[in-house]
Amino acid sequence: MRKLLFLTLFFFIAALPARAESVPRETLDAQSALVNGAIVVKGEGAAPHGPFTMAQKRIMALRAAKAVAFREASELLDGLTVSGETTVLNASVESDIVRTNAEGIIKGASVVKAEYDLASGTAAVYLSVPMQGVAAALVPQISGILPEMPRYTPAMAASTAGYDGLVIDVRGLEFKPALFNRAVTKSGEAVYDPSKADQKVLTGSGLSAYTNGINEARAILSKKGSVNPLVVKASGVAGQTDAELGPIEAAAVFYSNQASKFLEAAKVVFVLD
């Protein structure tokens, strides 16, 4: 009786559908890559017709799919906004070093999922390129070809209150995520310039982050060690990618940063719509 029960249970479990593996979330455009923190693309390929073994067909289909994924990732990387209307592709034309580093980023993309369908002879490969690595590889070189912006020096004093991070609320404004999202004054002075961030920060935690709520921004900064971030509302946008701060907000950011240097550590989050 026990043997019969065991066999019944065995065949019941075997008949259950297998749990589907999670499918990586693909990056739809360059802006989404910045917001989500990675470029994730899918490439599809098929084995050529011919007298090949099943193993050979699988290898060739996966290789073809991977090649397509690399092209997709390269196109998205080229389309990333650097600042204003400048893209990585534009910067690559200006600098051989930027172009070489961009090519190296794509070559270093990691395969997060690969699958082959035996029935159709087709394969799918998902590649991921973390934006953290993009910032570390490109920001130091690209910053050298962008126009230098004068540093901000406040004309008024402001209370610091022990702030150790920055949340910039740009909701309701035509603000576009970019590799270089700065905080500036209306007169064009840089309050926060990500190109001045420590190289170790770029390699470690990356540049600015993006989210859609103040509490979510605080949670992101807490992972970077911030417990009391300063929250400011942007008064406008300059050149599509720079958040304009009023004089009171700019002074508050400047003086708060003197003690904890959160800007150099890129402990900055932009809150988007």
Note whether 121 and 177 are same-domain residues: no
Note whether 178 and 251 are same-domain residues: yes
Note whether 245 and 172 are same-domain residues: yes
Q: 149 lies in a domain? A: no
Q: 5 lies in a domain? A: no
Model-level pTM?
A: 0.83
Separation between Cα atoms, residue 109 and residue 130, nearest integer Å: 8
Q: 237 lies in a domain? A: yes
Q: 219 lies in a domain? A: yes
Beta-carbon contacts of residue 97 (< 8 Å; ≥ 6 apart): 141
Separation between Cα atoms, residue 136 and residue 9, nearest integer Å: 54
What domain range includes position 172?
Answer: 166-271
Note whether 28 and 137 are same-domain residues: yes
Tens digit of each residue's pLDDT, the chain (273 residues): 444 344 343 333 333 343 346 889 999 898 899 999 899 999 999 998 889 999 999 999 999 999 999 999 999 999 999 999 999 999 999 899 999 999 999 999 999 999 999 999 999 999 999 988 888 888 888 877 788 889 998 877 766 678 999 999 999 999 999 988 999 999 999 999 988 877 777 766 667 899 999 999 999 999 999 999 999 999 999 999 999 999 999 999 999 999 889 999 989 999 999
Q: 152 lies in a domain? A: no
Question: Number of structural domains, the chain?
Answer: 2
Note whether 34 and 109 are same-domain residues: yes
Q: 12 lies in a domain? A: no
Note whether 111 and 194 are same-domain residues: no
Note whether 128 and 178 are same-domain residues: no
DSSP letters along 92-109, please? Answer: HHH-HHHHHHHHHHHHT-
Separation between Cα atoms, residue 273 and residue 268, nearest integer Å: 17
Q: 6 lies in a domain? A: no
Q: 85 lies in a domain? A: yes
Note whether 136 and 170 are same-domain residues: no
Note whether 138 and 170 are same-domain residues: no
Domain boundary among 78, 108, 142: 142
**H or E element that contains 130:** strand 122-130
Note whether 100 and 210 are same-domain residues: no
Q: Helix crossing, 96-107 with 54-78: angle to 10°?
A: 140
Over the range 105-132, which residues count as b (16 or more CB within 10 Å of their CB) and which as e? bbeebeeeeeebeeeebbbbbbbbbbbb
Note whether 131 and 188 are same-domain residues: no
